[in-house]
Structure 1
């Protein structure tokens, strides 16, 4: 197979964020220096808030709150802010990021219950239904839509229907799904949606956000704050009512994110999902031809991440370093999945990028196998 080598100044990022971005997104980061208390900054923030709400399917009844920080900042803002003192949240956990939700509520001493399904197992809506029926103290449910530690896509719509039927609120970590997987805040009964710029929305790191109905955000006035910097209600009131950020935002990153949102809204989630799916299928077909074993069966996999067992006799560090020298960056998994690595296909990638990776994989594996022999 004849494959062109990637330019030396471009790493092909096959990690699940940050991603290779569109040139217009990269250029937008060079916006002029500006003051965050000026009207033009407020106008920028309000435009981006509106577009972020739209990407999740929100209409005029929804808005978003921007936060300077990675997706975990927005997660912590939600999971520390939305549960009242007399409430309780059910954390659905089937991987590293479900465990992260549990750790966040534990740190903030939010009353909670943890329902573990085990890594690589999908979350069972029937079990969620059973727990909610037996435990009226639960007021909120926390779910990771795409559990990137395993590549598992969880049944969001079915769980949303269960939670809504019981009259509870649903908070969703959509950090690795929003923009490419099927998701709609209304149809999926999502009360609190957490997203970030630098994954499927193909922006740069440094800004995250929360999408919610306005009435849910307004109701936070009666929930005592558990944190200072990440107080979701404080950020909402400042951005929405005072027309100014609560603290200093990353304006250049937000400017770049607006361009990424424009591109995402123009392409559409369905089209981006189809683009990602085609690239994922190319990765999986190529690795299957090479005898690779996958962590999950096909029906459980998201369209943007593939978890693969390492070739026999090769360590992750050896594979990673060899591929990086060729211009391709793959990703490790958590220690619970030793012997597995991740290949993501988020961002501005092409079929040539995937073919180049597969060719580099062949060269690296052949070299490492030869050395071991």
Structure 2
């Protein structure tokens, strides 16, 4: 069959959205674990294993541990940003996209004292400006940063910002939801005090589990911070999991079983190798689309290795492009309202070069058909 011919019926959806992702068959199979009670020793053993592996994936050492939460990455974000700032503290939110704005909305909802520093969508965060603000405002005790701003596909300068925050003696909370597992990240070297991750993006697990990695002494110190929320009280989850050897509330045990398998695969592959795999696929996407006349939202030096924001072909709307591609077996992703006329192609998960080539061939067919209709 030539690439110009439409396939009969897709045998699977190729997920080119930035999570959930196509997962390894072993990860999918693991979710069929037997029914079990979350208060039994085998459940506690599972939770402890997953906590230990989640702490390792970002370079955490023996001084670090993790806290698991049943929920999407936003659950872990809310647990951290509502829990770690004391009443006398104040957090600086660094915002250059939709997910930076989400951090701002979380602290606002919980009445956490804060300051918002906006850089504008598609603009990288400037460490020098962060340095100036922290130097001028000693009331700022914490800093919140999105490492991979998935709305634009931009990687923010984590290492440089971490050095600035550490030099000023403040705490750094990092949304690593769509960077952990494929982008360069090292918890001690990047001076990360609070790292937030999720199962279903670069770690290639299934949705339903998120987690927080932190030094034990940071978690212990939360005892003196009044809780602002009940279900997402980070200290409560930490004490229950770490000291009582039991979950605070009912966890998603089958999803945790599947996540452990995903973590095993991620640790075996290694972040550098997985990052190289993703970067190669991203280059294939970008080279292929560029050769078709597409233009991109960000310059190459600001792009992540897993998300590409692409301007829509002239005269073609996102919904039509999405629906045409989905009928061919490929799911792309929209952008937020601030980026009308742009769509996203992600290459996270268990994808192959053949998947990317198939997408590009489907893109040709769909764009040709839509252009003919428009004409």
Write out per-residue CA displacement over residues 80-127 of structure 1, whole angstroms, 9 at most, x where no aligned residue: 000000000000000000000000000000000000000000000000
Query: Post-superposition shift, 1:3?
Result: 5.0
Write out per-residue CA displacement over residues 140-165 of structure 1, whole angstroms, 9 at most, x where no aligned residue: 00000000000000000000000000
In 2, Cα distance between equivalents of 1:212 and 1:260: 21
Write out per-residue CA displacement over residues 326-347 of structure 1, whole angstroms, 9 at most, x where no aligned residue: 0000000000000000000000
Task: Give 3-state SS (helix, strand or coil) of 1:363's partner.
Answer: helix
Write out per-residue CA displacement over residues 347-368 of structure 1, whole angstroms, 9 at most, x where no aligned residue: 0000000000000000000000
In 1, Cα distance between equivalents of 2:341 and 2:251: 40
In 2, Cα distance between equivalents of 1:124 and 1:351: 35
In 2, Cα distance between equivalents of 1:280 and 1:157: 23
Task: Give 3-state SS (helix, strand or coil) of 1:51's partner.
Answer: helix
In 2, Cα distance between equivalents of 1:283 and 1:126: 33
C-alpha contact (below 8 Å) 1:70/1:205 kept by paired residues: yes
Q: How many residues align?
A: 373
Task: Give 3-state SS (helix, strand or coil) of 2:105's partner.
Answer: helix
Any gaps of 5 or more consecutive residues in structure 2? none
The RMSD of aligned alpha carbons is 1.2
Any gaps of 5 or more consecutive residues in structure 1? none
C-alpha contact (below 8 Å) 2:4/2:361 kept by paired residues: no
Match for residue 5 of structure 2?
5
Write out per-residue CA displacement over residues 28-57 of structure 1, whole angstroms, 9 at most, x where no aligned residue: 000000000000000000000000000010
In 2, Cα distance between equivalents of 1:4 and 1:159: 48
Provide the TM-score with structure 2 as the length reference: 0.98
Match of 2:194 among 183, 192, 203: 192
C-alpha contact (below 8 Å) 1:6/1:327 kept by paired residues: no
In 1, Cα distance between equivalents of 2:112 and 2:11: 46
C-alpha contact (below 8 Å) 2:63/2:216 kept by paired residues: yes
Provide the TM-score with structure 1 as the length reference: 0.99
C-alpha contact (below 8 Å) 2:6/2:362 kept by paired residues: no
Query: Post-superposition shift, 1:4?
Result: 11
C-alpha contact (below 8 Å) 1:234/1:246 kept by paired residues: yes
In 2, Cα distance between equivalents of 1:20 and 1:6: 22
Match for residue 75 of structure 1?
77
Pair 133,251 (structure 1): closer, same or farther in 2 beyond 3 Å: same
Task: Give 3-state SS (helix, strand or coil) of 1:247's partner.
Answer: coil
In 2, Cα distance between equivalents of 1:217 and 1:185: 15
Pair 308,182 (structure 1): closer, same or farther in 2 beyond 3 Å: same
In 2, Cα distance between equivalents of 1:252 and 1:149: 30
C-alpha contact (below 8 Å) 1:74/1:195 kept by paired residues: yes
Matches within 5 A, 1:1-373: 2=2, 8-373=10-375
C-alpha contact (below 8 Å) 1:141/1:163 kept by paired residues: yes
Query: Post-superposition shift, 1:9?
Result: 3.1
C-alpha contact (below 8 Å) 1:3/1:355 kept by paired residues: no
C-alpha contact (below 8 Å) 1:160/1:190 kept by paired residues: yes
